[in-house]
Amino acid sequence: MGSDERLFAVRGAIQVDRNDRDSILDATRALVSELIARNSIETEQLVTVIFTCTDDLNAEFPAVAARELGLDRVPLLCTREIPVPGAMERVIRVLAQFYAPGESEPVHAYVGAAQALRADLESAQ
């Protein structure tokens, strides 16, 4: 880390079409790619990436898609989202921590229908 850098964290989410391996991997690739692009993140800048899935997604680990995108040297973790009644179904959420220049403006990425989860964040859309 350079002296003008600081640690940032960005969030994002995407709703998956179906609970099958390909749908989970495709959605995760889209989400992670969007988050990386919006924040101009290089793999070396990433500290950790945490994925959560709603209970109705269990056909594959989202981390598999992240590794396929080149994040094979970044600590990745998959866990469960709290099953709140009435919450959006089939959602993958991500929290990524990375170092960037101190003046950077982190941009969240809520993709597709998941934009409704954080309509309050202009930077998420």
Nearest to 106 by CA among 6, 9, 14: 9
pLDDT truncated to tens, each residue of the chain (125 aa)? 556 999 999 999 999 999 999 999 999 999 999 999 999 999 999 999 999 999 999 999 999 999 999 999 999 999 999 999 999 999 999 999 999 999 999 999 999 999 988 878 766 55
**64 within some domain:** yes
**88 within some domain:** yes
Q: Which amino acid is at 12?
A: G
**123 within some domain:** no
Q: Which amino acid is at 5?
A: E
**93 within some domain:** yes
Q: pLDDT digit string (tens) for 65-83? A: 999 999 999 999 999 999 9
Q: pLDDT digit string (tens) for 49-60? A: 999 999 999 999
- Note the pTM of the prediction, 2 decimals: 0.93
Task: Report the CATH number at residue 84.
Answer: 3.30.1330.40
Alpha-helix runs per DSSP H in 12-117: 21-39, 62-68
| 30 contact partners, CB below 8 Å, separation of at least 6 | 14, 111
Domain that holds residue 37: 5-118
| 103 contact partners, CB below 8 Å, separation of at least 6 | none
For the chain, what is the domain count? 1
**125 within some domain:** no
**53 within some domain:** yes
**77 within some domain:** yes
